[in-house]
Structure 1
Amino acid sequence: MLVKDIMTKAVITITSDTYVLDAERIMEQNRINRLPIVDDGKLVGIVTKNDVLKASPESTTPFNQRQLFYLMSKLTVKEIMKTDVLTISPDTPIEKSVAMAQQKRVGSLPVVEGGRIVGILTTNDVFYKILNPLLGVGEKGKRIIIYRAGKNEEMQRITEFIRKRGLTVKTYWIPPDPTKRDLIVHLDIDDATRVITELRNEGYEVELRDFAA
């Protein structure tokens, strides 16, 4: 899967002469945490909510509220933006992009093609478009955990067990603990009582592992 498959294409941008207070308002109104800064069609920087917070004068400074507001009202994002922006291309593999973001500890990566911003990849894109479908978050059904059943041969037995009963599996998931190899199965059913009982009769240790999605 490539970045272009899940990136946010409708990117909200601002110019470097935008006032910081206006940038803050735009982020609040659109419920976003950062704004790419584009001048003459080119990405020149990025500003985040944290940048705005750091730029705000502390309450301990020797200014009254009116003076503080005046100072902030004259400040532009050009004075606080980050110019060394880590970017990716639309054809970058998702795995590589996530690794880059984790290594640099950033929550978003502007997507640039031909020198122009064409999208942005955020943690929300990864969660909502990859992780949530993988885990079945927000979907109906019941999840059961079958302990120590994450090995290939056990998974094959359980898959056959489920198939014979005409049940539909939405997702399989093995939590990242190699010492346990538990298997979480998301079934397209409203009541998992019967399948849990039958699996226990087969010798498996099974529990309902459901949560409010």
Structure 2
Amino acid sequence: MATVSEIMRRSIPLLTADMTITQALDKLLSSDLSGLPVVDSQRKIIGFLSEQDCIPKLINASYHCDSRVTVNDLMFKEPLTVTPNSDVFELARLMDGAKPKIYPVIEDNKVIGIVTRRQVMQFLNAQLQNCSINI
């Protein structure tokens, strides 16, 4: 069984609920990811902020020069997560359709990384290529 720990990204920026939208967007945009986990002081996940969550408030905030918007105002407060031992094929099935493209990876209730749809697709592609070689 292939596990998430084999393909996950361990080094990621994390957001906090009290960050302003500009602070969060700086981290989000420089990460090359479409969303980031929001954590408390112990790295326990408390939310997730995606580009999609930001757009509606960002339009209004940038038009009115209102930088008082915080991550807490925008984040999704019940994010879906996986563990390092989660099966990659099962995660691929979860990602089918309108499910999240990024899943925080949690161990001992703390964020230790993320796994993206692209990483899952790269893994599945490599698996398929191995099938061709072994035929």
What TM-score does the superposition give when structure 2 sets the normalisation length?
0.85
Q: Give runs of aligned pairs for residues 201-212 of structure 1, distance below 5 A.
A: none
Matched AA of 1:47: L
| Paired-residue identity, % | 23
Identify the match of residue 126 of structure 2 among 106, 128, 133: 133
In the alignment, residue 132 of structure 2 is paired with which amino acid?
A: Y
What RMSD, in angstroms, separates the aligned Cα atoms of the two structures?
2.4
How far off is 1:64 after superposition?
9.2
Distance 1:44 1:123, change over 3 A: same
What letter corresponds to residue 126 of structure 2 in structure 1? P
List per-residue Cα deviations over 1:127-183 (Å, max 9, x = no partner).
Answer: 33x1343465xxxxxxxxxxxxxxxxxxxxxxxxxxxxxxxxx7629xxxxxxxxxx
Question: What does residue 119 of structure 1 align with?
Answer: 113
Number of corresponding residues = 132
For residue 54 of structure 2, what is the amino acid of its counterpart?
V
Structure 1 segment 1-213 matched on structure 2, within 5 A: 1-41=2-42, 42-58=44-60, 65=63, 68-69=64-65, 71=66, 73-102=67-96, 105-128=99-122, 130-134=123-127, 172=132
Q: Which has the higher contact order (CA 8 A, sep 6+)?
A: 2
| Alignment partner, residue 155 of structure 1 | none
Partner AA of 1:131 in structure 2: L
Counterpart of 2:105, as a letter, is V
Q: Which runs of 5+ in 2 are unaligned?
A: none
TM-score normalised by the chain length of structure 1: 0.56
Matching residue's letter, 2:59: P
**Matches of 1:3 and 1:171, distance apart in 2:** 21
Gaps of 5+ in 1: 137-169, 174-184, 186-213
CA contact (8 A) 2:35 2:50 kept: yes
1:57 CA displacement? 3.5
